Amino acid sequence: MSRDRSLVPRAEFQSYYGRPIVRPPVWTHDIAIYLFTGGLAAGSALLAAGAQATGDVTLRRVGRAATMGALGASAFFLIKDLGRPERFHHMLRVAKPTSPMSMGTWLLSLFGGAAGVAAAAELAPLLPDRGVFKLVPPVGSAAGYGAAALAPGLATYTAVLLADTAVPSWNAVHPDLPFMFAGSALASGAGVGLIASPGRPARRMAVAGAALELAAGHRVETAYGLLSEPYRTGRPGKLLRVARALTVAGAVAAVAGRRSRVVSALAGASLLAGSVLTRFGVFEAGVESARDPRYTVVPQRERLARQQLADEREPSPRTPKS
C-alpha cells in the first residue's frame, strides 16, 4: 500500500497555459512607497499632536513639516499610479462606504486639509499680532488635533485596501495587517522625531510602534498556514527579516541612546528604513502569492474539506411523523 502511494506523482498546481489563477496586481513599487509615505504622514501627525499637547515647539514643527512632506509624496505617487491627476478629483465625486479606495481618497483629502492648516499656522510669528491674525494659532492647534484624529484611519486604510483584494496572502491576513501598518506608521513617525528632536515622547512612540509592528508582523508571518509562507520565503521574506532587525535595533537604540544625539539619530534612521522595507515586503509577498496557483488552490480545497466535514457532523433533521 505504501509502495502504491509512493508511485503517485506529487500534484503540481498549474493553471491553463501556465497563467496565474488570480491576476497579480498591476501596481508598481510606487504603491509600496505610497504605503510608506501614508504611514509616515500619519505617524508624524500624531507626533506633532503629542508635541503640541506637551508644549514641545521644536518637535511640533518637525512633526508638522514631516507630515506635509510625506503627504505631498503620497499624493504624487497616488496620482502617478492613477495615470492622470483629474482621476483623483473624479474619485471625490462620490463617497462609497463599502469601497476602501473611495474612503481612502476622502480620508487623505480631509487629513491633508487639516494638516495643511496646522502647518500654515507655524507662520503665525511672521504675521501681525492683531485682528483676525490672532485666530491663526488656535485654529492651527485645532487643525493639528483634527489631523491626529484622522491619522489612525490614514495609517491603516491602505492595509484594508490590500486585504480587500483577491490576492491570497493579502486577503488572508486582514485581521492583523492593519495593526502591522499602524505599528509601522508609529515607528516611522517616531523615527523622524528621534532624528530631528529626540526626547521622551519620540522614544515612547518608537517602542510602542515597534512592539505593535513586530507582534502583528509575527502573526502575519506564522498564523495563516500556507498563506503566511510568502511573508517568510524568497525576496519578500528577506525584506521582512531585514525590516524586523532594523525595527528591533531602532527601538533598542532609541531607549539605550537617550543621552546621545548621534545614537538617537541612528535609531530614527533605523526605524524609518525598517518601515520602508516592511511595506515593500508586504507588497511583494502579496504579488508573489498571486503568481503561484498553489496559494489559491490549496486554501480553497482546505476550506471545502472543512465545510464537508462540518456538514457530515451536523445531525440529520428528524423525519416528521405522519
The set of cell numbers assigned to 163 is 486585504
**Residues in CB range of 176: below 8 A, 6 or more apart:** 216, 219, 220, 223
Banded pLDDT at 315 (limits 50, 70, 90): low
Mean pLDDT on 260-284 = 96
d(CA 2, CA 105): 58
Q: Which one has a higher pLDDT value, 205 or 199?
A: 205
d(CA 282, CA 176): 12
Cβ burial of 283 (10 Å; 0-12, 13-18, 19+) is buried
Banded pLDDT at 243 (limits 50, 70, 90): very high
Q: Which of 7-11, 87-91, 250-254 has the lowest mean pLDDT?
A: 7-11
pLDDT of res. 16: 65
d(CA 131, CA 10): 80
pLDDT of res. 287: 94
pLDDT, tens digit (0-9, with 9 covering 90-100), for 49-58 = 999 999 999 9
75-110 exposure pattern, b = at least 16 Cβ within 10 A, e = fewer? bebbeeeeeeeeeeeebeeeeeeeebebbbbbbbeb
| Alpha helix ranges (H) inside 174-315 | 177-196, 200-222, 234-256, 261-291, 294-313
CATH for 29-306 is: 1.20.1630.10
pLDDT of res. 127: 80
pLDDT of res. 2: 47
pLDDT, tens digit (0-9, with 9 covering 90-100), for 75-134 = 888 888 877 777 777 878 878 888 888 888 899 899 999 999 999 999 888 887 777 888
**Residues in CB range of 196: below 8 A, 6 or more apart:** 58, 59, 62, 66, 268
